A = this chain, B = another copy of it.
Amino acid sequence: MPGRIDARLAELGITLPEPAKPLANYVPFTISARHVFVSGQGGMLNGRPRWPGKVGLTVGMEDGALSAQLAFINVLAQLRVACGGDLDRVEQVVRLGGFVACGADFTQHGIVMNGASDLAVALFGEAGRHARTTVGVPSLPLDLSVEVEGLFRIA
C-alpha cells in the first residue's frame, strides 16, 4: 500500500530516480536531531546534467525551472532513503537553498527556483511551505544550471 506522499507523487506523474551515489567522501544526506540535511543536488538524469549551462544565456527560463524541479526531485530521492523509504514521515520542508548558474545581469532567479518550490508544495501541502534562499553563481559542478539543497524535519 503506497503512502500518502507516494500516492501524491504518482498523481503528479513523478517517479523518483535511483538516488545518485556521491562521488567522494561525503554522503547524500545526514540526519541530526530529527533533521535531514540533503547535499546539494543538480538536475542530473541518467548520470549527467539534463540542462547544462547558464540560465538566461544558454538555458531558457522554462528549462531553468525544469532544471530546478529535477534537482529537487533528486533531493526527494535522497530524502526518501533518509526516511527509510517512507516520505510520509516528512513533517516539514524547513529550508531550500537554490543556486542558479547565470550571468551578472540575470534577475529572475526566483522564477527559476519556483520549479523546486512549487513541487514542494504540490507534494507536501502546507508542510511543503519552506524558507528559501536563492542566489546566482558563475558556475556549478559538472556545468549544472541549478543546484538545490534541502533541510527537512522528519518524524
Known: A26-B96, A109-B141, A141-B134. A153 touches B33 (CB 8 A): yes
**A105-155 interface with B by 8 A CB criterion:** 105-110, 113-114, 117-118, 120-121, 128-143, 147, 149, 151, 153
Contact A141-B108, Cβ < 8 Å, known A32-B153, A33-B34, A39-B133: yes
Residue from the list B106, B118, B138 in contact with A25, Cβ < 8 A: B118
Question: Shortest Cβ distance from A125 into chain B, in angstroms?
Answer: 11
Total count of chain A residues near the partner, CB < 8 A: 61
Whether A23 lies near B110 (C-beta < 8 A) is yes
Chain B residues positioned under 8 Å from A101 (CB to CB)? 104, 136
A38 touches B (CB below 8 Å): yes
Partner of A131, one of B26, B113, B135: B26
| A51 adjacent to chain B (CB < 8 Å) | no
Q: Is the CB of A39 within 8 A of B117?
A: no
CB distance from A132 to the nearest CB of B (A): 4
- Taking Cβ atoms with an 8 Å cutoff, the residues of A that contact B are 22-30, 32-35, 37-40, 54, 92-97, 99, 101-110, 113-114, 117-118, 120-121, 128-143, 147, 149, 151, 153
**Can you give 6 contacting A-B residue pairs, CB < 8 Å?**
A26-B130, A30-B130, A32-B92, A32-B153, A107-B139, A109-B139
